[in-house]
Structure 1
Amino acid sequence: MLPDALSQKLGHTFQDQALLKRALTHASADAITSNERLEFLGDRVLGLIVAEKLHALYPQDAEGALALKFNALARGAACAKAAMAAGLAEHVILANSEKSAGGRDKPAILSGVCEAVIAALYLDGGMAAARNFVERYWADQFEELGHDMRDPKTRLQEWAQARGKDSAAPVYSLKERAGPDHAPRFVVEAQVPGFDPVRGEGGSKRQAEQDAATRLLAIVVPQETP
């Protein structure tokens, strides 16, 4: 039996406790009964809920503007942020090796668990249960839609271009790939002329590049501010 506190955070008491347990089980702990299939379903349920809400909130937006907002809300970073807000990290079921490697703090793992939990809510309580969770833990992110929604790599690229024609584009290089196939870990180095290279990591090469770009932006942008 999972803690009652978790049910309160999810806003739903599961009739099928095994379903919730599966949603919280990372492949490192049990590749056969992991949350990967639920993650697949949850991604689609989340997409529908977000798209429906955006369609209602922004009746004047063209398709392109809606797509930009959708991508900001449905990407892995948004799911990981919601997972942290919902307190899912402490309930993720991981192999001991993954726990030791800081798995509870890895955005890729948190994102997958969040999507799997959304699927479990949908299967156990219907769309209303899933929608309640998304509206609760994505509320701040919906409010932030007016902010810069470009992904970190795009922002770093545009920053480099704005420095002038002699400024080189950011360079990304893969430095490490570790972990099993079901839970890989990538380390990527990002570099722009005039600054020390910075490394980022993630569950995919793209996520690692975005993480590296985020870390590098935190260094270069303040130095460019008058």
Structure 2
Amino acid sequence: MRLIFAILSMLALAQCATPGTDRRFVAGSAEDAYVVIGIAKAPNIDTPRYDMLWRMLDERGRFADYDDERSLNVETNSNSIRIRGIPGEFITARVRPGVYALDSVYAIIRDARVNYYADGVVIGPERPAFEVRAGEAIYLGIWQVDLEDTRAVTRPWRVDVADMRAAVAEIDDLVGDVRIRHTTTRAVPCTPQRLGPISQRQICGEAPQ
């Protein structure tokens, strides 16, 4: 009986050590990439829930077709990291390597039992963008979200190495160096279109031919 238990224990340990069971992202050796970004609401706004959408660009420098694998959704009040003394929250995500540009911001304002929507499509063509390569882990700083009239807007607020280190220290599935990546400005055409037939949200699409 002891021999059987010993064999079962060895098999369990072997399964734990099998390559592929470790879900951690090891910067420098992965086929995908890792992004850390902060998002903070403007001081005078505390009700809306925001969603900032970054989308991958194709080889023509235009937005690729929209899907979850080629986009980065940064949502407030989501499964995020909050750190005492640092405004807002940090969102982490694995993404496909490539160039990403800011498509839009979206806000949901809840008032009693009624939801109001504020869209913020960046018609552009100039918009923030960044590139991330396979095996890279990057930090994009803290972005502020706000409402201006009836539009949701965002802007880079601060990129600080102390913020980055504090956030990275709280991430369980990340091993290796994280580098600050400043966004650049890129021209990407945009023709706003609804995300779906019943959706209130708009995203960038191509102009009809």
- Whether the TM-score (by the shorter chain) exceeds 0.5 is no
Could you tell me the TM-score, scaled by structure 1's length? 0.22
Which structure has the larger Rg over C-alpha atoms?
A: 2
TM normalised by structure 2 equals 0.24
Question: If each structure's strand is expressed as a fraction of its own residues, which one has the higher value?
Answer: 2
**Structure with greater helix percent:** 1
